Amino acid sequence: MCEFCTQHGEGKKWYLAMENYSRDLLDQEERRKYAAEFLNGFLNRVPPSIKQLDKIRKTPLMNLARPILIHNQKQDHYGQVVPMEDVEEIFKIVEGAVRLPCVCRRVTTGNMNARYCYGLTLDKQLFDALDDSFSLEFLSKKEALESIRKLDREGLVHSVWTFKTPFIGGLCNCDQDCMAYRITHARRDYPVMFRAEWVANVSAGECNGCRLCMRQCQYGAIRYSSNNKKVVIDPTACYGCGVCRAVCREKAITLSPRESVQEAAGMW
């Protein structure tokens, strides 16, 4: 399990611990203020930060900056990929969800109303502190889950996010327009999220080599062998999001606990 499970989950999956979604936590450490400022200021704050990062990312300074950046990120706003079955478990804990525009896509695509983010708290005080561009949609658990299942079929990767760790305030649904994807995976600057507690595997006996799953994978973890007419998943590249399963008509892909897969154990 990832270090957050040890620190914030009493050895269980930290994002399935009810207290990490609690109003008590939100009331502490000015989390409401932090969350509102994080969202309201994202569009103005992030592009200059990326410009600053660009200046040092290919220099020796980055080796000094990386541990500090990771430490700060883990304290304030850190994520973890979760497959659909864990999303279902999370919705047994929370009361409902509020859907709001994705702040990353505001930066990367200019779309101010791409509605892929789900707030997992129903806190009126927090909503009142958000600026008018965050038109909120209140969803029941059933509505939220139905819409997230649809995103799963489209290949969008789910992840939970802290607002001053360990409080979990949001569930995101991302592709390569995501800033977290870019910083962690595409640019490999520094991790801002953990991989899932899971790793995918293909059953060679079931796979018909259709390659539909390859298009779903944001992480390039699936490889096709022309010789075998089958795909294989590289466990060291797999983030464990599970969205490849949604398009596999043969049900050839399954998830296993990361710890049980030797090559991927401990890879976060």
| Of residues 25 and 103, the one with the C-beta less far from ligand SF4 | 103
Does the footprint of ligand SF4 cover residue 207 (CB under 6 A)? yes
How far apart are alpha carbons 237 and 116 in whole angstroms? 25
Nearest to 160 by CA among 151, 148, 142, 173: 173
201 burial level (CB within 10 Å; 0-12, 13-18, 19+): middle
- Integer angstrom CA distances of residue 158 from 98, 178, 182, 185, 199: 15, 11, 15, 15, 14
| Of residues 57 and 115, the one with the C-beta less far from ligand SF4 | 115
Segment lying near ligand SF4 (by CB under 6 A), choices 29-37, 48-56, 123-131, 233-241: 233-241
Segment lying near ligand SF4 (by CB under 6 A), choices 7-15, 25-33, 59-67, 98-106: 98-106
- Interface residue with ligand SF4 among 93, 137, 211, 254 (CB under 6 A) is 211
| Of residues 88 and 177, the one with the C-beta less far from ligand SF4 | 177
The site map against ligand SF4 for 44-63 (x = CB under 6 A) is --------------------
The site map against ligand SF4 for 156-195 (x = CB under 6 A) is ----------------xxx--xxxx---------------
- Kindly compute the dihedral angle of the four CA atoms of residues 187, 161, 117, 238, in this order, to the nearest 10 degrees: 50
How far apart are alpha carbons 16 and 83 in whole angstroms? 13
Does the footprint of ligand SF4 cover residue 87 (CB under 6 A)? no
Min separation Cβ 93 and ligand SF4, Å: 19
In sequence order, what are the beta bridge partners of 255?
200
The site map against ligand SF4 for 247-266 (x = CB under 6 A) is xx-x-xx-------------
| Of residues 143 and 250, the one with the C-beta less far from ligand SF4 | 250
Give Cβ neighbours of residue 34 (< 8 Å, ≥ 6 apart).
Answer: 76, 163, 164
Does the footprint of ligand SF4 cover residue 246 (CB under 6 A)? no
How far apart are alpha carbons 218 and 30 in whole angstroms? 35
Does the footprint of ligand SF4 cover residue 82 (CB under 6 A)? no
DSSP 3-state assignment of 118? strand
Nearest to 5 by CA among 195, 226, 146, 215: 195
Report the DSSP pairing between strands 97-100 and 79-81. unpaired
Name the site residues for ligand SF4 (rule: CB under 6 A): 102-105, 116-117, 172-174, 177-180, 200, 202, 207-213, 216-217, 219, 221-222, 231, 233, 238-244, 247-248, 250, 252-253
